Amino acid sequence: MSTTLPQAYIDKIQRQLKEDAEAFFLSYSEARTHGLRLNPLKVEPDSPWAKRLQELFRLVPVPWCPTGYYYEEPHRPGKHPYHAAGLYYIQEPSAMSAVEILDPQPGETILDLAAAPGGKSTQIAGKMKGKGLLVANEIHPARAKILAENIERMGIRNAVVTNAAPDVLAGRFASGFDRIMLDAPCSGEGMFRKDPDAVGEWSPEHVAMCAARQMDILRHAIPMLKPGGKLAYSTCTFSIEENEEVIAQITEQFPYMEVLRTERIWPHLHKGEGHFVALLEKREGGEEQFASGRSMKPPSTRVKGSAKHRMQTKAIADAWKQYSGFAEAYLSRQPELPPGEAILFGDQLYWLPHDTEGLWSASSLDGLKTVRPGLHLGTVKKNRLEPAHALALTLREDMSRHPLTLAADSQEAAAYLRGETLTVKSGREGWALVTIDGQPLGWGKVSGEQLKNHYPKGLRLPR
């Protein structure tokens, strides 16, 4: 066995798996599994691009996820420029199972309650196909920033990223979501092959602490579910205390929550590190004891007709005019935005998506820590708008009047990702959409024969 396991963990697994325990422990001597999901917002299934990626990285399908694939570590797709373009998301194959079981649908209002780094949120968004509203929440600020970056990289237009505790969201959005994904913080027993440090953090006391925290999060999640809505609870641990026992306690405390199915992925039975998923449904009438907080739309602090409201309205109108001017000058066709509204966060212009029922609006964000209030369109400058990186990643090459296409294996592509200035011969001044083999990667601004690099500094590769 290549991984040294705590004796208390060994004893627990032997009690749990009995005659299967030996095969389970032998799996620790095997190499960990690697996987990625193709992004259906950019790569259509069975398209030439899908086949190109399958051949490039020698991908093998994951049986429980139609967009999921295994790859061998030497191929390193996370280091390829296609990753920066958002064509796929690196994700452990077992973890792909939860969203498949949740089965999100276009047009729904969906919450991913503990969403960082974004694997399940981006998978949900792919299934929503740009329709409806996705709220991706992460309580830890640094992880919420990473979540927002991944939402942007994948070209998602209909998502809001929040940074709030579950009880804060529950106080605002009771009976507000058609589906909720809760990939709960856990003891991480399914991470032992991937992350040896997780072994050192394990203890029976840590398992008990995780189970108590999971119960607390679920108690806040359930009131936010609409009657008839579904909640997927998942962990990357094998612990019965954090899985079946948590679900049993929840259904006892909330008898209107019905377990529709549970699934386990074991590393000695499946090609994956391991995952647990339970799908629950909130039966009609279960929301009645929470009826006092049913509206998703909290009272607005903006008083129509007030001087402050008029100033906000004018500032947004001016910013939208600048965006429209940019789009007319540099885009041959604008991206199709979901139903929503333009809002300003300081000098940053966003498009805030609305839910299909019209309950979500800018007032929903009042007092709520929000990392990404929708699609970032750009930064408002004096009499102009500087386009956002997120906007570039929602476009297609044919939407730009001035695309600059770089080959994925070229020195120019590597230089662009390092943030370097490029020499160009386009003869066109102003903003250019930089693409990698036709897939948008970011912005550059042409002046003379130089392209000033606007790839975000925080994403640039080291020189």
Q: Exposed, middle or buried by CB within 10 Å (0-12, 13-18, 19+), for 236?
A: buried
Nearest Cα to Cα of residue 129 among 41, 65, 37, 39: 41
Report the C-alpha gap between 164 and 183 in whole angstroms.
Answer: 16
- DSSP H or E run through 110: strand 109-112
Pairing of the two strands 275-282 and 225-235: antiparallel
Q: Could you give the residue numbers annotated as active site?
A: 236
Q: Do 213 and 113 touch, CB atoms closer than 8 A?
A: no
Asked if 226 contacts 276 with a C-beta cutoff of 8 angstroms, the reply is no
Sign of CA dihedral 205, 209, 214, 216: positive
Distance from C-alpha of 121 to C-alpha of 180, rounded to nearest angstrom: 11
Query: Which class for 381: exposed (0-12), middle (13-18), buried (19 or more C-beta within 10 A)?
Result: exposed
Handedness of CA 349, 354, 358, 363 (dihedral sign): negative
- The H-assigned helical ranges of 267-333 are 307-330
In a 3-state reduction of DSSP, which class is residue 377? strand
Phi, psi (deg, nearest 5) at residue 5: -105, 145
Q: Pull the structure tokens for residue 147.
A: 């979540």
**Buried (b) or exposed (e) across 193-204, using 16+ Cβ within 10 A?**
beeeebbeebee
3-state secondary structure of 177: strand
